[in-house]
Amino acid sequence: MLILKSLTRLGPMHGYGIAQHIQQLSEAVLQVEEGSLYPALQRMLIKGWIAAEWGQSANNRRARYYRLTPAGKKQLGVELSEFEKVVRAITRVIQPA
Amino acid sequence: MDWLGELWRRLLFALRRRQFDRDLEEEMRFHLEMQAAESGAALARRKFGNVALLQEDSREAWGWVATDRLVQDIRYAARALRKSPGFAGVVILTLALGIGVNTAIFSFVDRLLLRPLPFPESNRLASLNFRSTRSAYVWDDLSYPDYGYFRDHNNVFSGLAAYGGVDANIRFGNQTEKVSGEVVSANYFGVLEVSPVFGRSFRAEEDAVPGRDPVVVLSHNLWRRRLGGDLGIVGRRIAINDVNFTVVGIAPPGFEGLRLDRKERPEFWVPAMMYPVVCWFAEADDLQHNWGNHWLSATGRLKPGVTLAQAEANLSGLTEQLKASPWRIWNDAADGPLQSTALLVPANQARVALGSRRGVVTFLGMLLAVVGLVLLIACANVASLTLARAVKRRKEIGVRLALGAGRGRILQQLITESLLLSLMGGAAGLVVALFTSQALVGYQRPFRMELLLEAGLDGRILAFGLALSILTGLLFGIIPLRQAFQLEVMPALKTDSLRSGARGFGMRNAFVVAQVALSLVLLVGASLFVRTLRNAKATDVTLDASRVLLIDLNLAERKYENARVQLFYASLVDRLRTLPGVERVALVARVPMGGGKNSLDIESRAGSWKANADFNIVSDEYFQTIGLPLVRGRVLNRGDRRGATGVAVINEVMARRFWPSEDPIGKQFQFLKPPRLVEVVGVIRDGRFIDYRDTVRPCFYIPLAQAYGADPFISSVVNRMNLEVRTVGNPVRLATGIRKEIHALDEDLPAGQMQTLESYRDAGLGQERLSATLLSGLAVLAALIVAIGLYGVLAFAVAQRTREIGICMALGAPSRQVLRRVLLDALALVGAGIAIGFIAALLLARLISSLLYGVSSTDPITYAGVAGILIVVGELAALLPALRASRVDPVLALRYE
């Protein structure tokens, strides 16, 4: 979900960029492990939520850019609403009565 | 659609994996560099971790890792096997044999017993049979009125169809071909829910009046084979037995009716009311009212919701009512009232007449058990070989464990290797299966009856072969795995592999013992069947059966009158006598061991006894032709002609039974129907009519010259005589000459197959010959496999104990003692196997005692002989390793390593 959201914000972005983005926005609370980032990206490629193509990075290096596909957008919607449901539920439980 | 896209992407990955790998690598390098620029190379690498591992994790997401490993394992296994071609060859050959014969026998089990009928909802079809409540007798034949009664009065079938087999001559252009077909009720195709591919099936009104509606449905095969697949044939006419029939339909390809116990596949179907036209002996039959002529079988489709048991109860009720019917068998048989009741069986289980099914099941069961044993022996042998290999490979496996291979991974690899071997064995086994099943079909009547057998592999059989291969692979593959599993890394690496195999050794001994036991069972079976065959052949009374030609003459089919029959036989015998090479010529109604007999009720002249006896009609010179010796009195001669005193020659059983302490010559007895008085002129040795198991009953022979025109029953027998010609030298050379003489008298007479009495008798012994040949072949092979196994174990043991033997010899043990020691080891193994095998054989042989003849299933000579053979085989196999052990040079052995 976080990766998909980042891609909507950033547009096409490479793996390193996604990791940096999540880390910065969450003010370093969420450390994205490379160990889970790349397998996750591969899984999403299979599912067809994201597509990959090679492009130039800001410092003129070849880098693989991922972008969201329409299926990915739909999936993001599904996951966000799921997430909100959970958050609401948790909030209700921990709220002082 | 989602999963489709996913599948496509996965496939794409598999195809372009090299590029994907490069992409991934570059992507991660980029990541690292970016991070290094930010926080320094060392830190970046520490944070990122193991690049190769991460790449692998990412790749795993694509789900191809398992496949990758499999491919890797297969490659590795293939390489390992190529390195030891001897081992691979022996294993594949052994397995091919085991799997092959099993697949072949299974193909017959499947076709005869398991495979359901290829009709819609065939499990709702039920075959109508009857059983006696007083004996085990079961039958399924009905007369047409019986069938009509059950069809019209039952309320459990949505339709009850009847069918009966028939042979007829069909004319195609100017050729006539004898074709098998079926006479069926009009609803036959409807009940089976089979529709002709072209045209239609029969209408109800076409099966209403005898002989009125000549319509026929042809088989797809006949239509293609003889009519070139011409669609215009529907509506046209073809001549069956010289009567024009209109072709109304073509049956679907492969349709072969309900039954497999037929000589040939049915190729045409006509309405039951056409029976008198297509069947040569039913011409005058009053089909609709003759309750005595039962020639039909019936199969019905159960109404929805009706169970088999309910239907059977309903039909049994009808059977009760039938007892008031005009046909006497329903209320009265020769030996008192026949208590019969309906027996309903799923049609899928009645493809062979129920009465014969038990014999088929016993025989096939025996064959399956035998080939199962062969497979077990093969598995034990392969497991033992694999075990030896596993011991040799300890070091290799130890190295791989030390390099960090997971035990699970190594097990997977070893199992892959076993499966690869067993699958290769299975593939080779298919060739063996094809060969075996063809050989089996080549035997005439291996099931003691006509059966539609075919040799061939289809999907079901291939699936069985595959499943069996995998099972086999797991069976022999798993046992040696324990070794690899318990292997400890350090000792495996350190010690010499030759000294550390003691553990596998006990297990290999156990395998040898098991193999000896199993092959003992096979050898016992084989020798029992060989003796059965020999005993069965010995019951044939014919002298030099290979020199007597047998020709079946069917004059009934030519519709000769009595006078013409008489003239034909007389001229034929005269003509043949003059042929060079012919020694004797005779005519006989029933050939010994020919599968059938005739009998008549007779009584003594004084009426002191009444009995039923077999009879045979023979021309003079018959006894000389087959060489049946005369016990007393005289044989028949030319003087016993029509008008002279009626005479008969009787067999020994009849003489003993009716004239126990008197001389039967000159005594008289009479037939009850037609009344006729005959005088006994001679006593002849006993002969058997049906087969070698037939109990010899009282039997008399009457001269052909006195049998003409006596009464319709005897005339019908006279019309179906067999010609027997005793020849000097090779009888086959005379066949053409004899055929020419027959055709000179009647060129349209279909002179059937010509064969010697020997091959005729052997054809009747199809099952016995098959059992004897198959079991002997397999038993010899099993003994060979055992010899190889034993040799392997001993050779290995000697190699392992070279040091020990060397020490013994250095301490002064004579080499003769070493030799004896190894031979005794072998004897101990073989002896243990024989002991176990004896018990197993005694238990198993009891099950086949119904297939044996003249030899007990516990025959001590057989058991002792077989044990002797195995001991000799075992010692021969042990001789080479024993000699090698006795020649160990103590100096070399001690310096070894």
> Tokens for B157?
């079938």
Closest by CA to B473, choosing from B104, B95, B82, is: B95
Cβ separation A42–B31 shorter than 8 A = no
- pLDDT band for B679, please (50, 70, 90 cuts): very high
Section B131-146 average pLDDT:
81
Least confident of B283-292, B379-388, B561-570, B673-682: B283-292
d(CA B642, CA B153): 52
**Cβ-based neighbours of B806, under 8 Å, separated by 6 or more:** B888, B889, B890, B891, B892, B893, B894, B896
Predicted ipTM? 0.76
Identify the pLDDT of residue B62: 67
How many residues does the structure list for chain B? 897
Chain B hits for A42, Cβ within 8 Å: 58-59, 61-62
pLDDT of residue B575 exceeding 80, the answer is yes
Percentage of residues in chain B with pLDDT exceeding 70? 92
CB atoms within 10 A of CB B615: 22
Cβ separation A48–B23 shorter than 8 A = no
Distance from CA of B43 to the nearest CA of A (A): 14
- Longest CA–CA span in chain B (Å) reads 132
Chain A hits for B30, Cβ within 8 Å: 14-16, 57, 61-64
d(CA B592, CA B722): 11
- pLDDT band for B332, please (50, 70, 90 cuts): very low
- pLDDT band for B503, please (50, 70, 90 cuts): low
**Cβ-based neighbours of B163, under 8 Å, separated by 6 or more:** B182, B183, B184, B185, B188, B257, B258, B259, B296, B297, B298, B299
The answer to whether B464 touches B110, Cβ cutoff 8 Å, is yes
d(CA B363, CA B113): 12
Average pLDDT of chain B to the nearest whole number? 83
Identify the pLDDT of residue B135: 75
What are residue B9's phi and psi, to 5 degrees? -65, -40
Q: C-alpha B842: how far from its chain's center?
A: 24
Chain A hits for B58, Cβ within 8 Å: 38-39, 41-42
Least confident of A38-52, B271-285, B681-695, B820-834: B271-285
Identify the pLDDT of residue B500: 45
Among chain B residues, the shortest Cα distance to A65 is held by B27
Identify the pLDDT of residue B149: 87
Identify the pLDDT of residue B323: 67
pLDDT of residue B728 exceeding 80, the answer is yes
- pLDDT band for B485, please (50, 70, 90 cuts): low
Q: What confidence tens digit (pLDDT) does each residue in B87-128 have?
A: 888 888 888 988 999 999 999 899 888 889 999 999 999 999
Distance from CA of A93 to the nearest CA of B (A): 36
Section B2-11 average pLDDT:
74
Identify the pLDDT of residue B336: 46
Residue B5, chain A, CB below 8 Å: the answer is yes
Percentage of residues in chain B with pLDDT exceeding 90? 20
The answer to whether B245 touches B238, Cβ cutoff 8 Å, is yes
pLDDT of residue B459 exceeding 60, the answer is yes
The answer to whether A74 touches B90, Cβ cutoff 8 Å, is no
pLDDT of residue B337 exceeding 70, the answer is no
Respond yes or no on whether the N-terminal peptide bond of residue B674 is cis (omega within 30° of 0): yes
pLDDT of residue B328 exceeding 60, the answer is no
> Tokens for B241?
């037995």
Percentage of residues in chain A with pLDDT exceeding 90? 0
The better pLDDT of the pair B190, B321 is held by B190
Section B353-365 average pLDDT:
85
**Cβ-based neighbours of B327, under 8 Å, separated by 6 or more:** B143, B145, B146, B291, B292
Distances (CA, A) of B421 to A84, B376, B507: 57, 16, 21
Residue with tokens 């009891």: B846
**Residue B817: half-sphere exposure toward Cβ, Cα within 13 Å:** 8
Q: C-alpha B25: how far from its chain's center?
A: 62
Cβ separation A47–B35 shorter than 8 A = no
Q: What confidence tens digit (pLDDT) does each residue in B148-169 have?
A: 889 998 999 999 999 998 888 8
Among chain B residues, the shortest Cα distance to A19 is held by B31
Q: What confidence tens digit (pLDDT) does each residue in A46-81 have?
A: 888 888 888 877 777 788 888 888 888 888 888 888
Q: Which amino acid is at B400?
A: R
Identify the pLDDT of residue A97: 58
The answer to whether B528 touches B862, Cβ cutoff 8 Å, is yes
Question: For an interface test with B, which of A16, A32, A33 has the most B Cβ atoms less than 10 Å from its Cβ?
Answer: A16
The answer to whether B417 touches B484, Cβ cutoff 8 Å, is no
Section B774-784 average pLDDT:
88
Q: What confidence tens digit (pLDDT) does each residue in B69-89 have?
A: 788 888 888 888 888 888 888
Identify the pLDDT of residue A2: 77
The better pLDDT of the pair B500, B823 is held by B823
Chain B hits for A47, Cβ within 8 Å: 6
Section B222-239 average pLDDT:
89
Residue A73, chain B, CB below 8 Å: the answer is no
pLDDT of residue B861 exceeding 80, the answer is yes
Residue A64, chain B, CB below 8 Å: the answer is yes
**Cβ-based neighbours of B737, under 8 Å, separated by 6 or more:** B579, B581
pLDDT of residue B198 exceeding 50, the answer is yes
Strands B668-671 and B676-684: antiparallel
Least confident of A35-44, B287-296, B506-515, B843-852: B287-296
- CB-closest option in A15, A41, A48 to B9: A48
Percentage of residues in chain A with pLDDT exceeding 70? 98
pLDDT of residue B421 exceeding 60, the answer is yes
Beta bridge partners of B175: B172
pLDDT of residue B8 exceeding 70, the answer is yes
Section B627-651 average pLDDT:
88
Least confident of B36-50, B719-733, B768-782: B36-50
What are residue A33's phi and psi, to 5 degrees? -75, 135
Residue with tokens 């008289």: B668
Cβ separation A48–B62 shorter than 8 A = no
Mean pLDDT: which of B8-12, B360-364, B405-409 is highest?
B360-364
d(CA B384, CA B403): 28
Section B412-420 average pLDDT:
86
Q: What confidence tens digit (pLDDT) does each residue in B733-752 have?
A: 888 888 888 888 887 776 66
Q: What confidence tens digit (pLDDT) does each residue in B588-625 have?
A: 988 877 767 787 888 888 878 888 888 899 998 899 88
pLDDT of residue B488 exceeding 90, the answer is no
Residue B49, chain A, CB below 8 Å: the answer is yes
> Tokens for B742?
């027959």
The better pLDDT of the pair B674, B351 is held by B351
Section A8-34 average pLDDT:
79
SS3 string of B133-185? Answer: CCCCCEECCECHHHHHHHHHHCCCEEEEEEEEEEEEEEEECCEEEEEEEEEEC
Q: Which residues of B750-788 are buried (b: 16+ CB within 10 A; e: fewer)?
A: ebeebbbbbebbbebbbbbbbbbbbbbebbbbbbebbbb
The answer to whether B105 touches B363, Cβ cutoff 8 Å, is no
- pLDDT band for B492, please (50, 70, 90 cuts): low
The better pLDDT of the pair B171, B554 is held by B171
The answer to whether B816 touches B886, Cβ cutoff 8 Å, is yes
Cβ separation B30–A43 shorter than 8 A = no
Residue B24, chain A, CB below 8 Å: the answer is yes
Section B440-462 average pLDDT:
77
pLDDT of residue A5 exceeding 50, the answer is yes
Chain B hits for A71, Cβ within 8 Å: 2
How many residues does the structure list for chain A? 97
The better pLDDT of the pair B546, B160 is held by B160
Q: Can you state the angle between helices B85-109 and B65-83, rounded to 10 degrees? A: 110
- 3-class state of residue A23 by DSSP: helix
Q: What confidence tens digit (pLDDT) does each residue in B243-293 have?
A: 899 999 999 998 999 998 888 889 999 999 888 888 766 666 677 777 767
Q: What confidence tens digit (pLDDT) does each residue in B657-666 have?
A: 889 888 899 9
- pLDDT band for B13, please (50, 70, 90 cuts): confident
> Tokens for B587?
């005519």
Section B294-318 average pLDDT:
90
Q: C-alpha A14: how far from its chain's center?
A: 11
